[in-house]
């Protein structure tokens, strides 16, 4: 791999808006989202030595932010906090960090996740996705789960970006309602 260097000097300019939008859609509170992004940057600085270059810098920061969102829900609702999300995109690591940030920076860390709850949450999410209207479900999975670019989704499905984001918003709202009834 060519470079394993992070460039924290550009994080705020390059990634703050993206991370904020990611966080605010998950916590529905702008102030909390700002705090989570700030915590993500601090955690990234703290755990920079664990960055191996296996993922893009933005992807690495999103992995940290995902854990920050989980921690947020852990604080406000222990059931939500137990629903840990696995992030699988790097090779196995020999990281032995004790800090959460160090564990987050390496998605294959030795942290024990509750496999049963992960499985149950996964099933609940799949059930809720299956209840969405077909096109809404397809758009949501393509964008959020598979990470396909907006332009590619729009071209494939013959929709415009505004329609895509409306469908994503409606899908997220419906999924949260469904998960609140069936999981949380």
Distance CA 155, CA 23 (A): 27
Give the residue carrying structure tokens 């550009």. Answer: 10
Torsion angle (degrees, nearest 10) of CA 103, 109, 110, 112: 80
The distance of Cα 161 from the centroid of its chain, to the nearest Å, equals: 21
Return the sign of the alpha-carbon dihedral for residues 91, 57, 114, 179. Answer: negative
Q: What is the DSSP letter of 183?
A: T
Distance CA 153, CA 72 (A): 31
Q: Around Cβ 144, how many Cβ atoms within 10 Å?
A: 15
- Are 176 and 140 within 8 A, CB to CB? no
Per-residue model confidence as pLDDT tens digits over 60-82:
898 899 888 888 877 776 443 34
User: What's the pTM?
Assistant: 0.43
Per-residue model confidence as pLDDT tens digits over 91-136:
344 433 333 444 444 444 434 444 555 666 777 788 888 899 999 9
Per-residue model confidence as pLDDT tens digits over 137-167:
999 888 887 788 889 899 999 999 889 889 9
Distance CA 81, CA 149 (A): 29
Question: What structural domains and CATH numbers belong to the chain?
Answer: 1-113 (1.10.1740), 115-184 (1.10.10.10)
Distance CA 156, CA 143 (A): 12
Length of the chain: 184
């Amino acid at each position: 791999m060519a470079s394993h260097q992070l460039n924290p000097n550009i994080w705020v300019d390059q990634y703050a808006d993206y991370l904020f939008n990611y966080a605010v859609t998950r916590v529905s509170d702008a102030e909390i989202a700002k705090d989570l992004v700030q915590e993500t940057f601090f955690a990234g600085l703290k755990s920079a030595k664990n960055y191996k270059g296996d993922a893009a810098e933005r992807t690495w920061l999103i992995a940290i932010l995902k854990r920050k969102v989980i921690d947020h829900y852990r604080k406000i609702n222990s059931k939500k906090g137990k629903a840990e999300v696995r992030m699988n995109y790097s090779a196995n690591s020999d990281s032995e960090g004790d800090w959460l940030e160090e564990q987050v920076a390496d998605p294959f860390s030795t942290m024990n996740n509750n496999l049963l709850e992960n499985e149950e949450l996964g099933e609940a999410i799949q059930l809720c996705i299956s209840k969405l209207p077909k096109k809404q479900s397809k758009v949501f999975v393509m964008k959020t789960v598979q990470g396909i670019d907006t332009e590619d989704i729009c071209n494939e499905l013959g929709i415009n970006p505004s329609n895509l984001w409306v469908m994503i918003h409606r899908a997220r709202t419906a999924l949260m309602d469904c998960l609140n009834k069936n999981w949380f």
